[in-house]
Amino acid sequence: MAILTEYSIWLSLLCILIGVLFSFLLYYKNKDIDFGKRNLKILMALRGLSIALIAFLLLAPLTKMTLKKSEKPILLFALDQSESIISGADSLYYKNEFPKQYKSLITQFGDKYDVILYSIGDNSRKVDENSFEFSDKSTQISDLFEEMNTIYSNRNVGAVVLASDGIINKGSNPIYSLKQSKFPVYTIGMGNPDIQTDLFIAGITHNAQTFKGNIFPVEIKVAANKLKGKTAQLSIFQGNNEVFSTNIAIANNQFFTTIKTNFEAKSKGMLKYRVVLSQLDGEITYKNNTSPFYIEVVDEREKIAIIYNAPHPDIAAIKSALELSDKYQLDVMSIDEFKGSLNSYSLVILHQLPSLQNSAQNLMNEIQKTKASVLYILGPKSNLSIFNTLKSGVSIVKNKDLTNESLPSFNNNFISFTFSEEAKQLLPKLPPLITQFGDYNVSVGANVFFYQKIGGVATNYPLIVFNDQLGLKSGVITGSGIWQWKLYDHLYTDNCDVFNEIINKIALYLSAKGDKSLFRVNSKNLYNENDQINFNAELYNESYELINNSDVNMVIQSSSGKKYPYQFSKNNNSYQLNIGELPPDDYTWIASTQFGSKTYNKSGAFSVRQMMVENQNLKANYQLLNTISVQTKGKFYNVKEMSKLENDLKSNENIKSIATYHKNYNMLLNSIIYFLVIVLLLGCEWFIRKWNGGY
């Protein structure tokens, strides 16, 4: 322990001097009262000490303590829990032998290491004990490394041991997230790296939605390995009816073909199709010979117009997201190309319009006349003084010509539509939009979807906000640059699903005819089997105020008639229900509640789709695992030589305990002891003086 001050330590001598001087002046020069020689010395000492101490404390002295802490090396074992591990010929080995070997490997690192277990698959998660079910429906590795780089970056991680087949089908390429990794990754190759005899559906491409009466195209990618000369049959069923069939002659040993066909959307609702390939002899698995696909058929095609002040990449990005659904007819034009009339558009997206150069008076009149919903996207060219008169739900008082970089932050009270967990997780990683610097006024009743987070600080300024004025819906994205969300979504997840979800949900919400009922239930109608199934519900009183005094019950029924009862939980002023995962099937639901004397019912249907990605590719990717190990100076092992890992890890000299020294500083002033000492010193002095007749 050492004592130091911000000032020179020699000043403490001055403190002693001040103490001596003080007591000298008081007692030596002052001879009014005779305390006696012995008492005088004591009094002088007491006064001198207390003054010196006070003076010393004025220097704001600190104590410094150095603490030594030793941290054992962390060994992080991550095990792939995905289905592909047990889809091969050696599935029995992975169910029976492997768990024993893996557990015994881990027990070798008892005392000297800090062993942490992880499971990877649908997501990476810390576990107390690994399960060996191998039931995850997808595989991602990148999120494991991202977690390593953030949570464990300051810890003494000796090594990461990753046991996987290297077949990834979710997240980004793990090599990207490895670049900042500071510790070696040892990899254990599971599964089978050889090309397996297999006929499989490699992918199905189709629109998610279409409209009644439309002929829609479907493309099925079929692949076959080591089956040259055989003929396979591909059939497509709708319900039990075969609606398409063709023969495929497999021309070579690494065969790939695309089968295209068209179907007519005859009826409204969710249409379920099943693609079935015939089973050929010697195939490693038949699981990937069949795959379902769903297409939602809506009543009629809706028209959406995108009208812009100037070309901007936002427009191409938004267009690409809306084009995924065949139910929209999109017209994209600049304000100069606008012909003067808008015919039956259910949504008009205005990019930086009205603008500083163009007040777009005609267009605005036409929108008002046709009662189309509007989505405003604001930017530096937006004319805010006109915009503020449009009753969009937000008005902005411009503060100079400055801009902010605003990150999206989800409003947890938002209920107008559901928003997936994946999207909520990705949201904080997305780049900022450029917004106007100023004061934002959100009108009463407007519904904020995302708030602006500026410079790390959450604000109550809206980034995306909706307004419903007597059935006329509008939305505002208060910044431009949303095109970057699409690119970064792809960078982090290898697809643009989150961006597409954001844009399509906004469009769907705004273009939907206003729901006037007092009891509303929001849900998706198609889930993957590893998705969390969520419902939101809203109950309004006669004056359209949200209430949630009554309970809301729901009964979900599977296609075989099995019923699952649930009750919604209350959330602020609405309702929420998360029922977790359900097995693949078609379900119907009925939600009901009572308010006053009235009973309200809502019903609907949704399907849970079987996830096929884990069965599509069964050739273990040892090359990826090897690259991961080479890049991080680890080592790759085939699962059969897993036991060698013990020696290699134990003999790696870089994996060792490290001692860290922590310096602890404490202000002396913070300690009450010094205060008590001063009180005691002065108290004694006072007492002695009183005792001797002084005052």
Residues of this chain that interact with another protein (CB under 8 A) are: 173, 176, 308-313, 315-317, 319-320, 332, 334, 355, 357, 379-381, 401-403, 405, 431, 434, 481, 483-484, 486-491, 494, 496
CB of 384 to another protein, least distance (A): 14
Alpha-carbon span 404 to 653, nearest angstrom? 50
* Choice between 309 and 411, CB closer to another protein: 309
CB of 310 to another protein, least distance (A): 4
CA dihedral angle for residue 145, residue 149, residue 152, residue 155, rounded to 10 degrees? 130
Count other C-beta atoms under 10 Å from residue 453's C-beta: 20
* Choice between 401 and 542, CB closer to another protein: 401
CB of 212 to another protein, least distance (A): 24
Sign, CA dihedral 500-505-507-508, equals positive
CB 537 within 8 A of CB 575: yes
The secondary structure of residue 24, as a DSSP letter, is I
* Choice between 359 and 652, CB closer to another protein: 359
* Choice between 302 and 314, CB closer to another protein: 314
Gap between the terminal Cα atoms of the chain: 41
* Choice between 353 and 554, CB closer to another protein: 353
* Choice between 430 and 476, CB closer to another protein: 430
* Choice between 46 and 218, CB closer to another protein: 218
Mark residue 430 as left, alpha or beta (left: phi above 0; alpha: psi -120 to 50; beta: remaining): beta
CB of 513 to another protein, least distance (A): 29
CB of 622 to another protein, least distance (A): 17
* Choice between 337 and 551, CB closer to another protein: 337
* Choice between 311 and 584, CB closer to another protein: 311
Q: Is the peptide bond before 428 cis (omega within 30 degrees of 0)?
A: no
Q: Where are the alpha helices (DSSP H) in 460-528?
A: 483-493, 497-511
CB of 305 to another protein, least distance (A): 13
CB of 382 to another protein, least distance (A): 11
Alpha-carbon span 161 to 164, nearest angstrom? 10
List the Cα angle 479/481/483 in 5-degree steps.
Answer: 135
Count other C-beta atoms under 10 Å from residue 661's C-beta: 8
User: In 296-311, which positions are buried (b, 16+ CB within 10 angstroms) versus exposed (e)?
Assistant: bbbeebbbbbbbbbbe
CB of 489 to another protein, least distance (A): 8
Tokens of 130: 């690994």
C-alpha dist (Å) from residue 402 to 103, 397, 459: 59, 12, 17
CB of 306 to another protein, least distance (A): 8
